[in-house]
A and B are shown apart, each in its own frame.
Chain A
Amino acid sequence: TGGHTTEILRLLSCLSESYSPRHYIFADSDKMSEAKIHSFEQKRAETFSNSQFTLDRIPRSREVRQSWTSSVVTTLYSILYSLPLTYKLKPDLILCNGPGTCVPVCISALLLGLLGMKRAIIVYVESICRVETLSLSGKILYYFSDYFIVQWPDLKEKYPKSVYLGRIV
């Protein structure tokens, strides 16, 4: 969604063309991200001739301030939905930055890894908005990601297993 998309596109901005093909996954309720992604990829195609990318939508796992019990149900539904998608894409690397959408995808990837089908490296970058506290996705994925990146020193102190590179967006 919105701010998350802008941030993640900035994270991608300096990546080499070895990071290809790129598969973007976002929430079905998201109206603006598709345009931003197309615009980013179009610009990228001006420099790199062999740019490949795809877009997929999954059901949004949780609305802002949605209750706990209904969140579990909607997240489970999103996981069921994203399992076949993750299986199809078999990513080597998953990069996410916080929207609820990323949790089902990461959980799917972890399951695929456990079943011996595909081991993806999960890299989570917490949003620049998070200075003192982690988002809910962050709190969950702090334990399940391979690399957990924070952008402010207070968070590095609170979450010692995290990586601090300064502001990267």
Chain B
Amino acid sequence: FRFKDSLAEDLRRADLVISHAGAGSCLETLEEGKPLIVVINEKLMNNHQLELAKRLHRDGHVLYCNCSTLVETLQSMDLSTLKPFPPGQPEKFALFLDKVVGFQ
């Protein structure tokens, strides 16, 4: 299972995902509409990777815990409090770029 090309299939079949704070993992999971618990590694606290996980948690899209509180989180979690994560809008970028470049 170490390095699969894509976890997409596993993601689709999952009911709950528990992951580290990597942006790719978080975003892929949220885009599949799966509930996500992000586990923070305290030893990597200065890693900028946490920025996204913290923001997602602040906005109510993911649950948050560290290794020692994982079990407690799993026992007491209420997944219905998680808010759906709307997809990004590359169309807005395309519109912006068209104006910048002069294609209108």
Q: Mark A98-136, 1 if CB is under 8 A from B, else 0.
A: 000000000000000000000001010101111111010
| Residues from chain A with Cβ under 8 Å of B51 in the complex | 129-133
Report the bound CA distance from A19 to B54 in whole Å.
Answer: 36
Answer yes or no: A70 CB below 8 A from chain B CBs.
no
- CB nearest to B92 among chain A residues: A165
B55 touches A16 (CB 8 A): no
A167 touches B94 (CB 8 A): no
A contact residues, total (Cβ < 8 Å): 37
A133 touches B88 (CB 8 A): no
Please report whether the interface of chain B is mostly helix, strand, loop or mixed according to DSSP: helix
Answer yes or no: B52 CB below 8 A from chain A CBs.
yes
| Residues from chain B with Cβ under 8 Å of A128 in the complex | 23, 27, 52, 88
Answer yes or no: B41 CB below 8 A from chain A CBs.
no
Cβ contact of A131, chosen from B54, B90, B94, B96, cutoff 8 A: B54
Please report whether the interface of chain A is mostly helix, strand, loop or mixed according to DSSP: loop
B contact residues, total (Cβ < 8 Å): 22
- 8 Å CB interface, B53-104 against A: 54-55, 88-94, 96-98, 100-101, 103
Cβ contact of A16, chosen from B88, B93, B98, cutoff 8 A: B98
Count A/B pairs, Cβ under 8 Å. 74
Chain B: minimal CB distance from A65 (Å): 11
A149 touches B48 (CB 8 A): no
| Residues from chain A with Cβ under 8 Å of B96 in the complex | 149, 163, 165
Q: Which of A3-11, A45-53, A55-63, A77-85 contacts B (4 or more CB under 8 A)?
A: A3-11
Report the bound CA distance from A128 to B89 in whole Å.
Answer: 12
- CB nearest to A152 among chain B residues: B55
Report the bound CA distance from A168 to B51 in whole Å.
Answer: 18
Q: List 17 A-B contacts (CB under 8 A).
A: A3-B23, A14-B90, A14-B94, A15-B94, A15-B97, A16-B103, A18-B103, A121-B100, A121-B101, A129-B49, A133-B48, A133-B51, A152-B55, A166-B88, A166-B89, A168-B92, A169-B90
Q: Give the 4 A-B CB pairs with smallest separation, nearest first.
A: A14-B94, A167-B88, A131-B51, A129-B23
* B residues with CB within 8 A of A: 23-24, 27, 48-49, 51-52, 54-55, 88-94, 96-98, 100-101, 103
New A-B contacts (14) at CB < 8 Å, excluding given A128-B23, A132-B51, A168-B93: A10-B88, A11-B90, A14-B93, A15-B94, A15-B97, A123-B97, A129-B52, A130-B48, A131-B55, A135-B48, A146-B100, A149-B93, A167-B88, A167-B89
